[in-house]
Amino acid sequence: MKILAVSDQVLEHLYSPCIKDRFRDVDLVVGCGDLPPYYLEFLVSMLNVPLLQIPGNHDAPSFPFSSDDSSAPFAHRGDCGNIDGRLVREHGLLMAGLGGSMRYRPGPHQYTEMEMAARVARLIPRLWWNRLRYGRFLDIVVTHAPPKGIHDGVDPAHVGFAAFNRVIAAYRPRYFLHGHSHVYRRDAVTSTQVGRTLVLNVCPYRLIEVPDTHAG
């Protein structure tokens, strides 16, 4: 299957009708945070595929939309594909979502290291259920912030979470997708292999072809 993962920046060449030709074989759109709802709505409507998403640190407290906003473009889609703090199975892939960034000021979708570790801990029972049911914990982790020391920054807003490094070490997902780390140089590292896990910075977008090793 093919995943179009996006985060942080609206791109004109994606926000265009030509996306139907360029990405016509995409099976799933994954939003890694800090994107306006109209952009994600456009992508999934044009490609006619499901959406899974998590919030970034700049997303509204009511992410992915306000329940009393009748104009919200995702209002007819229930939870709008929000997988923040959840585990789901999509196209045969076991996926987990953990949105937000390191806390650097008062605001929504920001966490201390201990708070993120607690969020991860709440997923552990379901992870073990996956192991018993499917023979593996996870295929893909979707986050906004990166793991600590991998594609992250040194300023307080862009430091990664050590809790994510522990997820990679303990549960060995095939892919770890994150946004948040804007790429300003062509030689910036955006793909890092950590044991069995390929950590990918998807900012502002990345097309990922996932082999059907665990499909079904």
Q: What is the pLDDT of residue 72?
A: 39
Q: Which H/E stretch holds residue 5?
A: strand 2-6
Residues of the chain with pLDDT under 70: 65-79, 213-216
Starting at the edge strand found earlier in the chain, the sheet holding 197-201 runs 86-90, 93-98, 140-143, 175-178, 197-201, 191-194
Q: What is the pLDDT of residue 9?
A: 95
Please state, in angstroms and rounded to a whole number, the distance separating the CA atoms of residues 26 and 44. Answer: 10
Residues 6+ apart with CB under 8 A from 207: 2, 3, 4, 5, 23, 26
Q: What is the pLDDT of residue 183?
A: 86
Q: What is the pLDDT of residue 185?
A: 83
Q: Could you give the angle at which helices 162-171 and 113-134 cross, rounded to 10 degrees? A: 10
Structure confidence by residue, pLDDT tens digits, 103-145: 999 989 999 999 999 999 999 999 999 999 999 999 999 999 9
Q: What is the pLDDT of residue 55?
A: 96
Model pTM score: 0.91
**Domain extent listing, the chain:** 2-209
Rg (CA), the chain: 16
Please state, in angstroms and rounded to a whole number, the distance separating the CA atoms of residues 141 and 153. Answer: 20
Q: Which H/E stretch holds residue 19?
A: helix 19-22
pLDDT-above-90 percentage for the chain: 82
Please state, in angstroms and rounded to a whole number, the distance separating the CA atoms of residues 90 and 26. Answer: 14
Q: What is the pLDDT of residue 165?
A: 98
Superfamily of domain 2-209 in CATH is Metallo-dependent phosphatases (3.60.21.10)
Structure confidence by residue, pLDDT tens digits, 171-186: 999 999 999 998 888 8
* Average pLDDT along the chain: 91
Please state, in angstroms and rounded to a whole number, the distance separating the CA atoms of residues 97 and 152. Answer: 18
Q: What is the pLDDT of residue 65?
A: 55
